[in-house]
Amino acid sequence: MITEIDDNQPPALDNAIDLTEKKDGGVLKVIKKAPTSDEQPRKGNKVTVHYVGKLKDGTEFDSSRDRDSKFSFNLGKGEVIKAWDIGVASMKKGEVCELHCKPDYAYGKQGSPPKIPPDSTLIFEVELFEWEGEDLTEAKDKGVVKQMLVDGQDYITPNPGATVNIKFTGKYKGTVFDERELEYILCEADDELNLPPAIDIAVKQMKREEKCNIIVQPKYGYGSNGNEKLNIPPDAELSYDIELIKFEKVKEAWEMLDEEKIEQSKIVKEKGTKYLKDNKFKQAILNYKKIIDYLSYHDAKIDGSEEDQKVIKEWKELKLAGYLNLSLACIKAGQYAQAHNNCAEALKMDPKNEKALFRDAEAYRHEIDFKHAKAAYAEVLKVNPNNGTARKFMKDCAAKIQEQAEKEKSKYKGMFDKFAKQDKEHEIRQKVEQKEKAKAAKKVNEKGDVNGDQPMEAEST
Amino acid sequence: MSDESKTVTKMLHDLLDERNYKDLKEFCCSENNQNQVVENGWDILTTLINHLKANTVDEQNLKIFQEVFIHVAKTSNPKEIILGLLEQFDPMIVLDIVELLLPPLNIVMDTLMHSDKSHHCYNLNMAFSSLVYYCESLNVPTYEQFDPLEDQAELLEELKIARYIEKCIDLARSALKIIKDQFSRNLIHATHFKAVKEEVMLFICGLMERISVLNVVHHEDNESNDTGQEMHVEKAAQNLTSMAISLHPAWSLWKDQTWKRFLPNNRQMVKEELDKIRNARACLLYILCASCSFQDQLPQIMNVQFAFSCCISAILTFLKATNPTKVHKGLTICRFVTNRLEPLSLQSSYLTQELKIVHIQHPARSLLEAAVSIATQCPSKTLRQRSAQFLTKFVNKFAWSDRFHLVFYLINTVEHSGVVGHMTVYFKDKLAEILQGEPPLGSHVFLKPSNFEKLLRKCIALPQGSETDLLSEYDRIMASLNLLRFLFLRDTNNKTGIWEQVPTIEIQFLNLLRTDINLSRMHFREELKKQSLPVKGEQAPTPEFTINGVSLPSLPPKHRVQMLQSAIHSFDMMQTVCIRVQEIMDKKPTELQTAP
């Protein structure tokens, strides 16, 4: 039964609870069925509900029950109308309630054509089933699952390269194994700090002064090796309580002027090269990628002043270097598809770039795709016939192709020989069988001749 | 080749040479020859296809061929014959022949799905990649004259692709049905089923990407489809979307961050493959937005800002495309999501920081840049107009501070006179709103002296000083003059600070403009005089003389005069407004004259 309410007056609903902070009657809740437990979802949890939505006149405009598919969303993340973020957060497990949502907390003056007219009050019957922590991983494999403990300030989160101050407690099977307060560069922590990847993943998505708990699967913790220093056995599931005390963001590209972008690109290029030399490919890739981000566009005009031309020239040189270094780092990290992509981008900027052609060839060679590698080295030699390394590798590739062909040949030859041998054996077996049969028949014939009354049919049997 | 195979091949060749298709069918389908057919299935297929490639066979006989293919598919070893079938999905083979192979392929796939459970993904991937590869080879219309407002019948190329996609969907549905059934009976594990769904999603993407390059005409309801003609591309697009929704709820497909995990994540993809997937997702969103059939699938509880942010990357993918049907699709998604947004409801920082969905540095700027490029360069007039309308409509959805920054960004970076003029008018409209009564909350950003001065100077800047081409810059100059006229008339209390800018306006704009107008008019009048003089033969115009980018000598003499007269008229108009601005400016309000 849907109760009629007036948009301008708080509806006179028995037992209705005003859920809004302002107490303006924008979201009123009437409990229809008591919860089965006192547990409540937290902000960021992925909650699962069934709902039926109606207009004030009783017209049903949407129903997950009709679709026969429960609806899931991340609570408090602005994915659904305001009324729902407020209303569902107030619900407990198993509860069924009716939410009366004023336009300001739903679709406002615009409505949601064609089903929801402008300025509509919406009434939802919602049933809350279950929820789970927020999956923070990019692969969405539940490797780092977060439960918010205290919400943070604003909506700004630290970006890779930001200086962050955190406090955390790590637990394994309920026992604290690591408790620290530290300042470090996000996504570039030194190995000595002994931080698992999950910390970076979580901190990147936290706000200032936020506190949360994360459950970390081994892949994002200390993996199959564990951590001797911290007394963590292999394949351990860990739990961390983290507080992001403060952070200082690195400026985003769009916040910078051309000169700043170029300056920052030079800094990250140097950092990337240092990481590459230290065989820290992940960090190197991260820094080189920043060059591409910073230099995605320039304000200087192509047909602008001399100063503009100078900026654009430097911008191009740096961006090209960024792609080239990134392709090298990708090859070293075994990310060959990305290496090819970066070489392709570099070649777009400079179609005859020797390094880009060479690295493309290198990526093929490492992929053990000698045919393409050989062709790619040939391209390098077209640009620079004196490139000895390319010539050497091209010869190597040709040899490898030959070697592979020989191997295949001998493999198939062996196979054919084997088949031929098998056929021959089969033939011999058949001949032997035939001979034996013939012998047996002869014997029977001889006996028949002796007996003289044996029927012919029996012979064959 | 064994003697038996040689005999079969010879027999086939003889029958084909004689075009004795009835006997051919009898030979292949006869019980007596089953062993030979089973053993030589692949060869039979190749021989028959080669014959079809080399000869024209009528429809009736094509059916006979298909019956043979189906028989071979039913009786041969499925693991082997699937390779033989897929080998024929070669771009060199015409669609009519390839279509004959789809039903037999369907049969083989079904058999394999039943018999070879452990290799579902392998078999699906192998078949799907061949099907998509062939689809990509089919010709796509060029759409040179594309106009979304024009009612166009479906083109032959569109029909062919749509027909092929429909058949591919049937095949995938059939295989998926078998696997779903196995899953429901616990014959396969959940992770296995997930991997199967990922393969199917990848296949849907492959085909959807093909739809993205076609014109998908939508009919709001049956009535508007006057012709009663079935729209094949629309139907294929809808069927693909339905299939995607049968695997994952529409809501999850809509969300940018959940989309990726529906695809196999263990494969390294090159840029081209990633681009195709981006296009496929954009097209899927377009179908969800534009087709009435899916209205019920999208939950009516989505936050409109969130819904919009999920579409940004898709919109950008389409708006940056050169194919006009993609641009049209991008603008349609734009309209669908922005119409639901209330004015002032967006914040740039919300899009970039809170949601973190869009891996684009500055989504709002990127969208505007893409729209500007369409508004100024797209060959279709309708798309240009729609894009220009989108510019101001979109900026209006943002909070006041973002509005200011976006307008400044556009005026500062865009060089197209029409766009700058358009944004100058927008600036004037916003100032009118602010000056009307109590300034709206947050609008002070426009009145902050440094901001106002910065934007005003950009609006009144003459690109080449007194040598600016007044005709090509006509829109922006007229918009600037109107802005000044409006401000000097309306802002008598100097809320904007316009009266402090008088010296700058005079030196940097009006004086230069007056000189420019006088010089240009003199120049044009002289040329007009030259053209109007009665001379023997045709008067050759000044070789380098151009009017708004059009070379005068390239025009017929009659048009030359008209063009010159019209240009002089424009200069006169400009001067009239210029004089008017000067007049109002000179009448400084008395209260302001006494002010320090």
Please check the confidence at residue A5 and state whether its pLDDT lies above 50.
no
% helix, strand, coil for chain A, step of 5? 45, 20, 35
Residue A249, both tokens: 């963001």
Instruction: Residue B349: list chain A partners with CB under 8 A.
Output: 155-156
Distance CA A20, CA A26 (A): 6
Backbone angles phi, psi at A166, to 5 degrees: -130, 160
Query: How far, rounded to the nearest angstrom, does the alpha carbon of residue B170 sit from its chain's CA centroid?
Result: 27
Which pLDDT score, from 0 to 100, does residue A357 have? 95
Cβ atoms of residues A300 and A308 within 8 Å: yes
Contact B271 A69 (CB under 8 A): no
pLDDT tens per residue, range B174-189: 999 999 999 999 999 9
Which pLDDT score, from 0 to 100, does residue A458 have? 31
> Shortest Cα distance from A40 to chain B (angstroms)?
21
Non-local (6+) Cβ contacts of B559 within 8 A are none
Non-local (6+) Cβ contacts of A403 within 8 A are none
Please check the confidence at residue A3 and state whether its pLDDT lies above 50.
no
Which pLDDT score, from 0 to 100, does residue A95 have? 96
What ipTM describes this predicted complex? Answer: 0.80
Distance CA A57, CA A53 (A): 12
Active site residues of A: 51, 61-62, 81, 107, 124
Name residue B225's amino acid.
Answer: N
Determine the angle formed by the axes of helices B190-212 and B232-247, rounding to 10 degrees: 160
Which pLDDT score, from 0 to 100, does residue A265 have? 92
Instruction: Residue B351: list chain A partners with CB under 8 A.
Output: none
**Multiple choice CATH, A144-248, 1.20.120.10, 3.10.50.40, 3.30.450.40, 3.40.50.920:** 3.10.50.40
Residue for token pair 């009612």:
B151
Which pLDDT score, from 0 to 100, does residue B294 have? 86
Q: Which of A109, A253, A335 sits opposite B361 (nearest CB)?
A: A253
Q: Which of A69, A107, A155 sits opposite B354 (nearest CB)?
A: A155
Contact B300 A53 (CB under 8 A): yes
Which pLDDT score, from 0 to 100, does residue A54 have? 96
Where do the domains of chain A lie?
17-131, 144-248, 253-398
Best mutation target among B301, B352, B393 (most A Cβ atoms within 10 Å) is B301
Contact B301 A81 (CB under 8 A): yes
CA distances from A87 to A94, A99, B71, B372, B449 (A): 14, 7, 61, 41, 44
Please check the confidence at residue A7 and state whether its pLDDT lies above 50.
no
Cβ atoms of residues A215 and A241 within 8 Å: no
> Shortest Cα distance from B566 to chain A (angstroms)?
31
B360 → chain A, closest CA residue = A293
Identify any residues that bridge with A125 across adjacent strands, giving them in sequence order: A52, A98
Residue B236, both tokens: 């294929």
Q: Which of A62, A156, A341 sits opposite B270 (nearest CB)?
A: A341
* b/e burial code for range B45-81 (CB count within 10 A of at least 16 → b): bebbbebbeeeebeeebbeebbbbbbbbbebbebeeb
Identify any residues that bridge with A238 across adjacent strands, giving them in sequence order: A216
Which of B281, B374, B394 shows the shortest CA–CA distance to B321?
A: B374
Distance CA A287, CA B557 (A): 63
Residue A78, both tokens: 């602005």
Instruction: Residue B370: list chain A partners with CB under 8 A.
Output: none
**Torsion-angle region of residue B439: left (phi > 0), alpha (psi -120 to 50) or beta?**
beta
Contact A71 B251 (CB under 8 A): yes
> Shortest Cα distance from A89 to chain B (angstroms)?
15
Contact B356 A337 (CB under 8 A): no
Please check the confidence at residue A82 and state whether its pLDDT lies above 60.
yes
> Shortest Cα distance from B137 to chain A (angstroms)?
23
Instruction: Residue A205: list chain B partners with CB under 8 A.
Output: 356
**Torsion-angle region of residue B221: left (phi > 0), alpha (psi -120 to 50) or beta?**
beta
- Using 50, 70 and 90 to split pLDDT, how confident is the model at A356? very high
Instruction: Residue B296: list chain A partners with CB under 8 A.
Output: 62, 66-67
> Shortest Cα distance from B26 to chain A (angstroms)?
33
Which pLDDT score, from 0 to 100, does residue A2 have? 40
Which of B207, B289, B221 shows the shortest CA–CA distance to B254?
A: B289
Instruction: Residue A69: list chain B partners with CB under 8 A.
Output: 249
Residue B495, both tokens: 């809320």
- Per cent of chain A over pLDDT 70 is 89
* Regions of chain B where pLDDT drops below 50: 221-226, 357-358, 595-596
Which of B323, B256, B250, B320 shows the shortest CA–CA distance to B288?
A: B250
Please check the confidence at residue A432 and state whether its pLDDT lies above 60.
yes
Q: Which of B297, B301, B306 sits opposite A78 (nearest CB)?
A: B306
Contact B258 A82 (CB under 8 A): no
Please check the confidence at residue A306 and state whether its pLDDT lies above 80.
yes
A109 → chain B, closest CA residue = B342
Return the higher-pLDDT residue of B424 and A422: B424
Contact A109 B270 (CB under 8 A): no
Instruction: Residue B304: list chain A partners with CB under 8 A.
Output: 107, 110, 112
A85 → chain B, closest CA residue = B303
Contact A67 B261 (CB under 8 A): no
> Shortest Cα distance from A198 to chain B (angstroms)?
18
B298 → chain A, closest CA residue = A62
Which of B344, B329, B343, B342 shows the shortest CA–CA distance to B290?
A: B329
pLDDT tens per residue, range A252-290: 776 778 888 899 899 999 989 999 998 889 889 988 998
> Shortest Cα distance from A301 to chain B (angstroms)?
8
B292 → chain A, closest CA residue = A114
**Domain A17-131 = CATH 3.10.50.40:** yes
**Multiple choice CATH, A253-398, 3.40.50.1980, 1.10.3720.10, 1.25.40.10, 1.10.10.10:** 1.25.40.10
Distance CA B62, CA B49 (A): 11
A249 → chain B, closest CA residue = B353
In total, the C-beta contacts within 8 angstroms joining chain A to chain B are 92
Element (H or E) spanning A418, and its range?
A: helix A388-451
Instruction: Residue A115: list chain B partners with CB under 8 A.
Output: 295, 300
Element (H or E) spanning B97, and its range?
A: helix B95-115
Give the mean model confidence (pLDDT) for residues A338-348: 93
Contact A338 B300 (CB under 8 A): no
* b/e burial code for range A254-268 (CB count within 10 A of at least 16 → b): bebebeebbebbebb
A144-248 and A253-398: same fold? Answer: no
Q: Which of B261, B304, B362 sits opposite A139 (nearest CB)?
A: B261
Identify the sign of the CA torsion B82, B84, B86, B89: negative
Determine the angle formed by the axes of helices B449-460 and B474-490, rounding to 10 degrees: 140
Contact B342 A156 (CB under 8 A): no
Contact A62 B295 (CB under 8 A): no
Residues written for chain A: 461
Contact B296 A67 (CB under 8 A): yes
Instruction: Residue A201: list chain B partners with CB under 8 A.
Output: none
pLDDT tens per residue, range A95-109: 999 999 999 999 999
Count Cα neighbours of A329 within 13 Å in the Cβ-side half-sphere: 27
Give chain B's radius of gyration (CA, Å).
Answer: 33
Instruction: Residue A113: list chain B partners with CB under 8 A.
Output: 339-340
Average pLDDT of every residue of chain A: 87
> Shortest Cα distance from A292 to chain B (angstroms)?
11
Distance CA A300, CA A316 (A): 12
Which pLDDT score, from 0 to 100, does residue A1 have? 39
Q: Which of B249, B268, B340 sits opposite A335 (nearest CB)?
A: B268
Contact B268 A336 (CB under 8 A): yes
Instruction: Residue B414: list chain A partners with CB under 8 A.
Output: none
Q: Which of A78, A108, A340 sits opposite B270 (nearest CB)?
A: A340
